[in-house]
Amino acid sequence: MTCAELEILLCDYVDGTLHADDRAALENHLSGCAACKQLSEDVTGVTAFFERVPQAEPPAELLTRILHHAPMGPGALTEGLPGDARPSWAKRLFGGLMQGGFVQGWLQPRYVMGMAMTILSFSMLARFAHIEPRQLRPSDLDPVKVWQGIDDHSHRVYDRAMKYYDNLRLVIEIQSRLKEWTDQDAAAQPRGAKEGSQQ
């Protein structure tokens, strides 16, 4: 048995729960290794010390204090308490607002950012569906109408993109033809100049 294996089995040895084969191998190792024997004596001494220490008795009012300061969520340590110990529905609903104040309750950064992102999302969706906020009516928030507006707008954007692509292709084709003609004219002029100089 190695020292590392002994360290793993030492707690079971001290507790007396080690199998007979492992116990014999461990005791054999302890008889030959001074460092492991010292470690075993230290662990046994600490265990014996803890067994001699008297059990601490909690104060009688500790349970009452725990129940008083424990969170009063649904089913959290409130069974068996008198009715006035349970918070009212208003305190449970607005407890954080009343207890920590408005700033600590609802104006935390996560709530503010969540509200800002929600408003931004709705405004982007309304802009994409061509819904003017000044003219917004409950009928404008009909999902079918919103979807039709988005679908119509996306088809228009697609048609514009395709028209732009076709026009761009036409422009590139015209430019390439003009470049070919210019190159042909440039190539034809030196030939004409050479023929004129030879005559």
| pLDDT tens figures, 13-58 | 888 888 888 889 988 998 988 888 888 888 888 888 878 878 778 7
First to last CA, the chain: 112
Mean pLDDT of all residues in 73-80: 49
Instruction: State how many domains the chain has.
Output: 1
CATH number at residue 63: 1.10.10.1320
- Supply the pLDDT for residue 78: 47
Distance CA 46, CA 50 (A): 6
Q: Does residue 109 fall inside a structural domain? A: no
Distance CA 159, CA 86 (A): 64
Q: Does residue 130 fall inside a structural domain? A: no
| pLDDT tens figures, 107-145 | 677 777 888 888 888 888 777 766 666 666 777 777 788
Domain that holds residue 34: 1-72
Q: Does residue 182 fall inside a structural domain? A: no
Q: Does residue 58 fall inside a structural domain? A: yes
Question: Residue 195 pLDDT > 80, yes or no?
Answer: no
Which percentage of the chain shows pLDDT scores above 90? 1
The alpha carbon of residue 110 and the mean position of all alpha carbons in its chain are separated, in whole angstroms, by: 13
